Amino acid sequence: MIQIENVTKTYRRGREEVHALNGLSLQVQKGEFVGILGPSGSGKSTLMNLLGLLDYPTKGKIIIAGHTVEKLKTWQMDILRRKTVGFVFQQFLLVPTMSALQNVMLPMYFNGKQSAAGQAAKLLEKVGLGGRLHHLPSQMSGGEIQRVAIACALANNPEILLADEPTGNLDSKTAREVYTLFKEINRAETTVIIVTHNLELAYLIPRNITLLDGRMISDVQKDSAIA
Amino acid sequence: MNLFTIIWDGLRRRKIRSVLSILGIAIAATALFNLLALKQGYESGMQKELENMGAQVVAVAKGCPYEAIAVIMIGGQVPATLPEEALEQIRSVPNIATASPNVYGAYNYLDLSHPLIGITPEELKLKSWWKIQGRFPENFGEIVLGSVEAAVFTEKSGEFSQIGDTITVDALGKAVSLKVVGILESTGSKDDYSTFTTLETAQKLFNLEGRVVAVNIRVNEISQIPQTIEALEAIPDVQAVTIAQVLGTIRNLVATGQNMLLVVMLVAMIIGGLGTMNTMLMTVFERTREIGLMKAIGASRLQVFKLFLLEGMFISLAGSLIGVAAGSAATLMGDQILKNFVSVMPTQPIGQLSWYAAAVSILFPVTVGIFSSIYPAFRAAGLNPVEALKNE
């Protein structure tokens, strides 16, 4: 599903070159549930941007759903992204003036589906927000917003769900509820990759990859996931 | 959900700014619409008015013939006059079919000034469409009233109610009794607002004995007009001008005024366009993170470009539609407004709503709107999603 071979990502900060990822290699199989751990600046978000087809690697090779990223043009990346990847961000990122339903319909619209209200409503019911379809983000709690964001991420039925610290701004109870949602999504064969600082959450995830200074320092596969 | 839902969401979240941008475009579109609609109406109205004079050539005393004709059209005193003897010389010029002498002046009645035109039966040859109830004035002090004048006098004077009644008017400070011997049926021209009398009456009332103000001429052969004018101007003190020349001059004057207004309108449109560009750029800056989100959830560069381009186009379309609506209203009231500024105006309303004016007043601002939105839309489409998502 995902293959990363010796990938380097270098940014320029003034005259200084910053190696956000430094020769990283890993593989993720279809249907896996992976947690990415590591301190700030270890390269977690950079890795997510590359996996989410938002950026190109400086060096190395990335293959996602059979496509070699470096060979793709920007517009091809756009199409592959909208068909393959769903995103959940830490910052409760929704369009503030659109209702929960409209926010979920937005990625569907970009994917060419114009009349998708029924499907969007079903997704919101699936994440437990059947009664909040027409609420604006400002009328919902942080946990509810993240649920809407998860519904958005699932809107185009992606093969890969990426979440960048999705529980970072949530209390522990709500964080656990959100994690349960991810687990349910993963049961339906969607590959789920979560960046997290939350060790309690990481403990529940079957496979944990830890990064430090842009390199992988551990890749732990547990025998069975802990519910 | 469709493209319009997303665009509408973008516009309504910054209502005041959107409304102000729309208003900027609307003002320019109103000006453009009025300019086109009134210009068309003014030209055709003036042409009709000049045709209603019945003459092809007008002979006046040397000076500015255009000024003389303008004064003739609006009623009033012409500074220079021709001696009556010139009339016979004019009639002797080859190719002249009819030469009708006129004396123009005005009298005061019911606290208003009314044009009084001294004419001879020759005038009926020029204005074959005239229908007079009663008869043509033959004796001193007899008048024919234009249809509007007759209606107003009947309603307000208290002394005139039918043909045969006499009204007492003030001509150059003297009280004069004028007997109504006829009423001119409506012609749809200035004649409806005029009073006609014998040439001698007008000459006496306006102290112009032995003089005429203008001679309205019809010719036998239109192709011979240049030679006829040459012959007319060979008569001492006579200057001749064709109605076509007068119309051409009016058109030139209107075109000059219109060009000046077009420049002003163009500046207004550029300002409106810059306003739209500013609004759209601000929108892109404010929604950078949202654009990043849109890209992250699958929006292509083209989709983002289209969103912002259409949002700018919508602003200009809304502005131009409001402008055409406001322009239509202003055009229909244009006569009243213009009469305060323009001395020579046709009798008929000049406000003419036209599809041409509406189409230009919509298409031009929309084109400006599209061009103003290209750069902001290009910026939005080109944003790096990773950088955009980091934007606070």
Three-state SS annotation for chain A: CEEEEEEEEEEEECCEEEEEEEEEEEEECCCCEEEEECCCCCCHHHHHHHHCCCCCCCEEEEEECCEEHHHCCHHHHHHHHHHHEEEECCCCCCCCCCCHHHHHHHHHHHCCCCCCHHHHHHHHHHCCCCCCCCCCHHHCCHHHHHHHHHHHHCCCCCCEEEEECCCCCCCHHHHHHHHHHHHHHHHCCCEEEEECCCHHHHHHCCEEEEEECCEEEEEEECCCCCC
What's the CATH number where A187 sits? 3.40.50.300
Q: Does the beta-carbon distance from A93 to B289 stay under 8 Å?
A: yes
Query: Do the domain assignments include residue A192?
Result: yes
Q: What is the pLDDT of residue A112?
A: 86
Segment among A142-156, B41-55, B232-246, B317-331 with least mean pLDDT: B41-55
Closest-CA distance, A91 to chain B, in angstroms, reads 10
Q: What is the pLDDT of residue B306?
A: 92
Where exactly are the structural domains of chain B? 3-48+249-390, 63-236
Most confident of A124-128, A220-224, B135-139: B135-139
Query: Do the domain assignments include residue A116?
Result: no
Q: What is the pLDDT of residue B257?
A: 77
Q: What is the pLDDT of residue A32?
A: 93
Chain A partners within 8 Å of B9 (Cβ)? 95, 97-98, 102
**What share of chain A has pLDDT > 70, as a percent?**
98
Comparing A19 with B392, which gets the higher pLDDT? A19
The rounded distance, in Å, linking the Cα atoms of A78 and B82 is 86
Most confident of B39-48, B68-77, B223-232: B223-232
Average pLDDT of span B356-360: 88
Q: Does the beta-carbon distance from A75 to B302 stay under 8 Å?
A: yes
Q: What is the pLDDT of residue B73?
A: 62
pLDDT of residue B51 exceeding 50, the answer is yes
Query: Do the domain assignments include residue A150?
Result: no
Average pLDDT of span B110-124: 91
Average pLDDT of span B324-328: 91
pLDDT of residue B343 exceeding 60, the answer is no
Q: What is the pLDDT of residue B244?
A: 80
Confidence of residue A226 (pLDDT cuts 50, 70, 90): very low
Supply the pTM of this predicted model.
Answer: 0.68
pLDDT of residue B140 exceeding 90, the answer is yes
Closest-CA distance, B16 to chain A, in angstroms, reads 16
pLDDT of residue B69 exceeding 80, the answer is no
Chain A partners within 8 Å of B302 (Cβ)? 75
Query: Do the domain assignments include residue A133?
Result: no
Comparing A10 with B272, which gets the higher pLDDT? A10
Confidence of residue B10 (pLDDT cuts 50, 70, 90): confident
Confidence of residue B77 (pLDDT cuts 50, 70, 90): low
Q: Does the beta-carbon distance from B294 to A152 stay under 8 Å?
A: no
Average pLDDT of span A42-67: 92
Condensed to tens digits (0 to 9), the pLDDT of residues B282-306 reads 889 988 988 998 888 888 889 999 9
Coil/strand/helix, residue B234: coil
A157 and chain B in contact, CB less than 8 A = no
Q: What is the pLDDT of residue B348?
A: 63
pLDDT of residue B101 exceeding 60, the answer is yes
Q: What is the pLDDT of residue A204?
A: 87
Average pLDDT of span B229-246: 87
Query: In degrees rounded to 5, what are phi and psi of residue B207?
Result: 55, 40
Please state the domain count of chain A.
1
How big is the CA angle at B307 (ends B301 and B310), to the nearest 5 degrees? 130
Average pLDDT of span A151-162: 90
Comparing A161 with B268, which gets the higher pLDDT? A161
Average pLDDT of span B86-104: 92
How many Cβ atoms from other residues are within 10 Å of residue B371's Cβ?
Answer: 14
Residue in A218, A217, A215 with CA at minimum distance from that of residue A20:
A215
pLDDT of residue A36 exceeding 90, the answer is yes
B270 and chain A in contact, CB less than 8 A = no
pLDDT of residue A108 exceeding 70, the answer is yes
Average pLDDT of span B43-68: 76
List Cβ neighbours of B370 (8 Å cut-off, separation of 6 or more): B309, B312, B313, B316
Average pLDDT of span B344-353: 64
Segment among A1-5, A77-81, A190-194, A223-227 with least mean pLDDT: A223-227
pLDDT of residue A196 exceeding 60, the answer is yes
Confidence of residue B74 (pLDDT cuts 50, 70, 90): low
Closest-CA distance, A136 to chain B, in angstroms, reads 12
What does the mean pLDDT of chain B come to? 86
Average pLDDT of span A42-64: 92
Q: Does the beta-carbon distance from B293 to A93 stay under 8 Å?
A: yes
Confidence of residue B139 (pLDDT cuts 50, 70, 90): very high
Segment among A174-178, B69-73, B146-150, B162-166 with least mean pLDDT: B69-73
Most confident of A38-42, A60-64, B248-252: A60-64
Chain A partners within 8 Å of B384 (Cβ)? 55
Comparing A87 with A92, which gets the higher pLDDT? A87
The rounded distance, in Å, linking the Cα atoms of B333 and A149 is 56
A18 and chain B in contact, CB less than 8 A = no
Beta carbons of B362 and B305 less than 8 angstroms apart: no
Q: What one-character DSSP code corresponds to residue B207?
A: T
Average pLDDT of span B88-116: 91
Confidence of residue B319 (pLDDT cuts 50, 70, 90): very high
* Residue from A46, A80, A98 to probe the interface with B (highest B Cβ count within 10 Å): A98
How many Cβ atoms from other residues are within 10 Å of residue B134's Cβ?
Answer: 16
The rounded distance, in Å, linking the Cα atoms of A207 and A210 is 10
Domain range for A28 is 2-93+157-221
**What share of chain B has pLDDT > 70, as a percent?**
91
pLDDT of residue B114 exceeding 70, the answer is yes
